[in-house]
């Protein structure tokens, strides 16, 4: 394990003003997104869409520290034959790779899931490193509903995340450790806090047991928000206060960076919340974004599958990347949205 390189890459992923573009939608998920804009999902349309983002100069050179890719994309070439990985590198950004194989129901734990993908992972990591990946992502999913989550399911997911992280580091790849507590339910903010606190406590205990080098990791968590169906919604300042409070209880200062998922928040809402969190600084970690939907919703809509729309889509992408870059420094305000 090259600890110096791991620590350098982890810090670069969360450099002030920059964050991560999550473009690692599986073929099933990207089809859903394309259905919504009336575009057929083919290898070429997926390539065209992602190439459009990776060639957005302002965003990629100034605000996007790294891009999480899917297995198909990391092997794909742009329309002119250049590997997409090369384009990302030429922009000064880091290629990353989603390595989990998705969620399956966890036997004996009704309505709870376990993330799979550990078998053969070390060999796959070695190949991804050769292709250019310098970091990876594994997402565990914790749902909140009546009677769930259980301690058993949280522990199983934390153990898998820890084994994944150790395998990453053995291959000189920085693990993004993502224990996502979903915001789909009707629970309130206090319940999100309570579950996230337990999840993070369990996770960092398992990372310790697995001897993971924390300085060479990035945490990708949810914010502390009420469920989407909750009648009690809260302000960005309230999200920020509870989110920072839970991290202070659970995330070691050895962890260099925290990069949030957007999890279904509207795009400007995700920016406002990140900004409010950073306005509470200085914080002991670099705190930024690793957004999928909150970065892509606007450019996806503008693109709509048409080559003529590429400039407008790139403008929309550059704008969201810039807004989130400012939020990573606590320098965003609503007036900048224009
Ligand atoms: P969202 O920001 O759309 O939640 O996606 C980020 C991600 O990579 C989830 O694993």
Query: In the prediction, which pLDDT does 50 show?
Result: 98
In degrees, rounded to 5, the angle at the alpha carbon of residue 234 between the alpha carbons of residues 231 and 237 is 175
DSSP per residue over 177-210, as a string?
EEEEE---SS--HHHHHHHHHHHHHHHHHHHHHT
β-strand partners of 64: 19
Q: Which of 236, 238, 280 is nearest to 258 (CA)?
A: 280
Q: Ligand 1 atom closest to Cα of 261?
A: 2
291 Cβ closer than 6 Å to some ligand 1 atom = yes
- Residue 118: other Cβ atoms inside 10 A: 16
Q: Which of 91, 50, 49 is nearest to 68 (CA)?
A: 50
Alpha helices in 37-115 (DSSP H): 43-54, 57-58, 71-74, 84-90
Query: In the prediction, which pLDDT does 338 show?
Result: 84
Closest Cα to atom 9 of ligand 1: 261
135 Cβ closer than 6 Å to some ligand 1 atom = no
In degrees, rounded to 5, the angle at the alpha carbon of residue 190 between the alpha carbons of residues 185 and 192 is 45
Query: In the prediction, which pLDDT does 101 show?
Result: 97
Bridge pairing between strands 113-115 and 103-105? antiparallel
Structural domain including 271 reads 3-337
244 Cβ closer than 6 Å to some ligand 1 atom = no
Residues whose CB is less than 8 angstroms from the CB of residue 142 and which lie 6 or more positions away in sequence, other chains included:
149, 153, 154, 157, 179, 180, 181, 182, 195, 199
221 Cβ closer than 6 Å to some ligand 1 atom = no
User: Tell me, what CATH number does 154's domain have?
Assistant: 3.20.20.70
Secondary structure percentages of the chain, helix, strand, coil, to 5 = 50, 15, 35
Query: In the prediction, which pLDDT does 325 show?
Result: 98
- To the nearest 10 degrees (0 to 180), the angle between helices 27-36 and 43-54 is 80
Q: Ligand 1 atom closest to Cα of 294?
A: 2
Can you give the pTM of this predicted structure? 0.98
112 Cβ closer than 6 Å to some ligand 1 atom = no
Query: In the prediction, which pLDDT does 170 show?
Result: 98
At residue 75, what are phi and psi to the nearest 5 degrees?
Answer: -100, 0
| Residue of 115, 261, 265, 294 to mutate, ligand 1, most atoms within 8 A of C-beta | 261
Q: What is the mean pLDDT of each run of 10 residues along the chain (338 residues)?
A: 97 98 97 98 98 98 99 98 98 98 98 98 98 98 98 98 98 98 97 98 99 99 98 97 98 98 98 98 98 98 98 98 98 96
| Residue of 23, 36, 115, 293 to mutate, ligand 1, most atoms within 8 A of C-beta | 293
223 Cβ closer than 6 Å to some ligand 1 atom = no
Number of structural domains found in the chain: 1
From the number of C-beta atoms within 10 Å of its C-beta (0-12, 13-18, 19+), residue 14 rates as buried
């Amino acid at each position: 394990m090259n600890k110096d390189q791991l620590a350098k890459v982890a810090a670069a992923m969360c450099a002030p003003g920059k964050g991560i573009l999550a473009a690692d939608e599986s073929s099933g998920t990207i089809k859903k997104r394309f259905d919504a804009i009336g575009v057929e999902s083919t290898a070429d349309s997926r390539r065209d869409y992602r190439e459009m983002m990776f060639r957005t100069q302002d965003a990629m050179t100034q605000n996007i520290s790294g891009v999480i890719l899917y297995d198909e994309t990391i092997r794909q070439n742009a329309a002119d034959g250049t590997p997409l990985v090369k384009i990302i590198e030429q922009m000064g950004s880091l290629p990353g790779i989603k390595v989990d194989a998705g969620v399956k129901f966890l036997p004996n734990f009704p309505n709870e899931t376990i993330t799979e993908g550990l078998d053969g992972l070390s060999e796959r990591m070695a190949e991804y490193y050769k292709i250019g990946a310098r970091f990876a992502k594994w997402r565990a999913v914790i749902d909140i509903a009546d009677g769930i989550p259980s301690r058993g399911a949280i522990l199983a997911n934390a153990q898998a995340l820890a084994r994944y992280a150790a395998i990453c580091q053995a291959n000189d790849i920085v693990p993004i450790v993502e224990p996502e507590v979903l915001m789909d339910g009707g629970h309130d903010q206090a319940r999100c806090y309570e579950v996230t606190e337990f999840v993070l406590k369990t996770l960092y205990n398992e990372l310790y047991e697995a001897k993971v080098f924390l300085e060479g990791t990035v945490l990708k968590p949810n914010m502390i928000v009420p469920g989407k169906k909750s009648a009690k919604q809260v302000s960005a300042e309230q999200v920020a206060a509870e989110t920072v409070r839970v991290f202070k209880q659970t995330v070691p200062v050895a962890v260099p960076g925290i990069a949030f998922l957007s999890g279904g928040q509207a795009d400007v809402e995700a920016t406002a919340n990140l900004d409010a969190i950073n306005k509470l600084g200085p914080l002991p970690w670099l705190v930024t974004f690793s957004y999928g939907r909150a970065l892509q919703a606007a450019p996806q809509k503008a693109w709509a599958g048409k080559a003529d729309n590429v400039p407008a889509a790139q403008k929309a992408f550059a704008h969201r990347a810039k807004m989130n870059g400012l939020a990573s420094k606590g320098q965003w305000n609503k007036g900048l949205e224009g």
